[in-house]
Structure 1
Amino acid sequence: MSDLSSTRTTDTIVHFSTPFALPDLVGEVHPAGDYKIAQDEERIEGLSWLAYRRTATYIHLPSIAQGNRLRRIVRIEPTALADLLAATNATQELSR
């Protein structure tokens, strides 16, 4: 089990300019807008330099503009997210 000092979460904001669907949420189409993406990483121990490995990636639904109503966090595979970003010409920026 990792202690808190060896883990980190990196948040980004992704702007989808067109509606999109997530592979694991069949039948749901999400509107264009800004969405928060969170990536959890853990430090790789035993190296002579600081390195991290991604352990999970999440998208926060609904979009930021829609506020906190019925907010949920959905896990997404990094390759599926990369494919979705490329397919929708989405842009992303580090939020912290």
Structure 2
Amino acid sequence: MAIVSRREVVTFKHPFQIRGIDRLLPAGDYEVITDQETIDGLSFAAFRHVATMIMVPAKGSRGLAMEMISIGSVDLADAQRVDASASDG
């Protein structure tokens, strides 16, 4: 089975929290890496979700250092939904 990684940038307009991260993260652009593995033995291409990770400023680094934290894909979607519904005022 081969692992396929997909990278994307997600933008949060407001400070946010994601389950599994013990602090409030600032608004901004965040790189999200999603790993999937191929499912062998099928007559078509199929993938199974393996992991979702987000790159965030390291705790206490003032944005100079980054750390990769494993998160749930549903938790990311929940944080994006909350951000999209938050008031800009």
Answering whether residue 50 of structure 2 is matched by residue 50 of structure 1, we say no
Distance 1:89 1:44 in 2: 34
What is the CA-CA distance between 1:58 and the residue it aligns to? Answer: 0.3
Deviations 1:27-47 (A, max 9, x none): x11111000000011001111
State the match for 2:65 in structure 1.
Answer: 70
Which residue identity is paired with 1:78? S
C-alpha distance in 1 between matches for 2:40 and 2:16: 38
Task: Please state how far the C-alpha of 1:70 moved relative to its aligned partner.
Answer: 2.0
Confirm whether residue 79 of structure 1 aligns to residue 63 of structure 2: no
Residue correspondences, number: 81
Instruction: Give the TM-score of the pair, scaled to structure 2.
Output: 0.82
Identity of aligned residues (%): 32
Flag structure 1 segments of 5+ consecutive residues without an equivalent: 91-96
Give every structure 1 segment of 4 or more consecutive aligned residues whose post-TM-superposition deviation is greater than 6 Å.
none
Cα shift readout 1:42-84 (whole Å, capped 9, x = no counterpart)? 001111011111100000012xxx86x2210000011111111
TM-score for both structures, normalised by structure 1:
0.77
What does residue 23 of structure 1 align with? 19
Amino acid paired to 2:33: A
Any stretches of 5+ residues in structure 2 without a counterpart?
none
Residue 12 (structure 1) aligns with:
8
Residue 89 of structure 1: SS of its match in structure 2? helix
